[in-house]
Amino acid sequence: MTSAQIIDGKAIAQRKQAEMAEVVANLSLQIDRPPGLAVLMVGDNPASAAYVRNKERACQKLGIASLGQHFAAEVGQAELEQVIDRLNQDDRVDGILVQLPLPEHLDATALLNRIAPNKDADGLHPFNLGKLVRGEEGLRSCTPAGVMALLHEYNLDPAGKTAVVIGRSILVGKPIAMMLLEANATVVMAHSRTKDLKSVVQNADILVAAVGKPNLITAELIKPDAIVIDVGINRITDATGKSRLVGDVDFAAVSEVAGHITPVPGGVGPMTVTMLLHNTIWSYCRKHGISYS
């Protein structure tokens, strides 16, 4: 029996995307083109291919032009840099995203840094991360921004709460810590070198798990009525040979203790795509001097 309230990211994402579709439809009447998003995918990673398909379908549903390209796994760094340079100059393109992970011979950081900051749909350019650190308006990393949107939708104000973030990646851990700090939480970061994870996590009013280890977070670690945000996505195979997605949190057990919890799938994931679309529309509006938040 689940006692925690489920934070339904899928339902919120659907509602927000419906609202964005209306915005795009109205703006497309004023401006002679729709917003444009270019997703660059390299190779045939099945998970990446599924993510890209989801993004392309979402673009189609919202009326956003999908201008992405798919490259063979052997593509060179120079070719990709030239493609990004062209997209930076293309007036039809408002957002550019390089689908990660990339093959090992490619320098992902150099490619991400080559994207024009005003077209950085994933919010990972140093310029935009710097804006986040300074608390200035700008494009925000999609998954952390999605987490903050979920907290807002459920009226879960981080102000004054102790927030523990497990994981310190530039994709999720570091930017979500900055966003929670900006929202006046007291933020503690835990990671692989944290000596006593249990004592750190047990103080969390808000726990964000972003590590990539199935069932790392067990019920005994959770403070009663804590808000548990599970960013982890792990594919496991059960005894019957069937595979399924699970998070970093032991959902069934933790649900008995927590006050609110995100499921996997259906929690943070749908909001990541939603914030990508939001960023694309934001850049589109900014280019045309239109306010959009």
Determine which one of 16, 55, 174, 223 is catalytic: 55
Residue 198 annotated among the catalytic residues of the structure? no
Measured CA to CA, the distance from residue 160 to residue 217 in angstroms comes to: 23
Burial class (CB in 10 A: 0-12, 13-18, 19+), 119: buried
User: For 212, left (φ over 0), alpha (ψ -120 to 50), or beta?
Assistant: left
Measured CA to CA, the distance from residue 179 to residue 171 in angstroms comes to: 13
**Could you give the angle at which helices 46-62 and 268-287 cross, rounded to 10 degrees?**
50
Measured CA to CA, the distance from residue 123 to residue 141 in angstroms comes to: 4
Residue 55 annotated among the catalytic residues of the structure? yes
Measured CA to CA, the distance from residue 293 to residue 281 in angstroms comes to: 9
Phi first, then psi: what are they for 165, rounded to 5°? Answer: -110, 120
What's the maximum distance between 2 C-alpha atoms anywhere in the chain? 57
Measured CA to CA, the distance from residue 145 to residue 284 in angstroms comes to: 18
Residue 61 annotated among the catalytic residues of the structure? no
Residues whose CB falls within 8 Å of the CB of residue 170, separated by 6 or more in sequence, listed in order: 124, 129
Q: How far are the Cα atoms of 3, 40, 44, 78 from residue 74, in angstroms, in the given order?
A: 50, 14, 11, 12
Is the Cβ–Cβ distance between 249 and 210 less than 8 Å? no
Measured CA to CA, the distance from residue 227 to residue 183 in angstroms comes to: 15
Determine which one of 94, 119, 120, 122 is catalytic: 122
Determine which one of 16, 94, 99, 250 is catalytic: 99
Which residue numbers are catalytic? 55, 99, 122
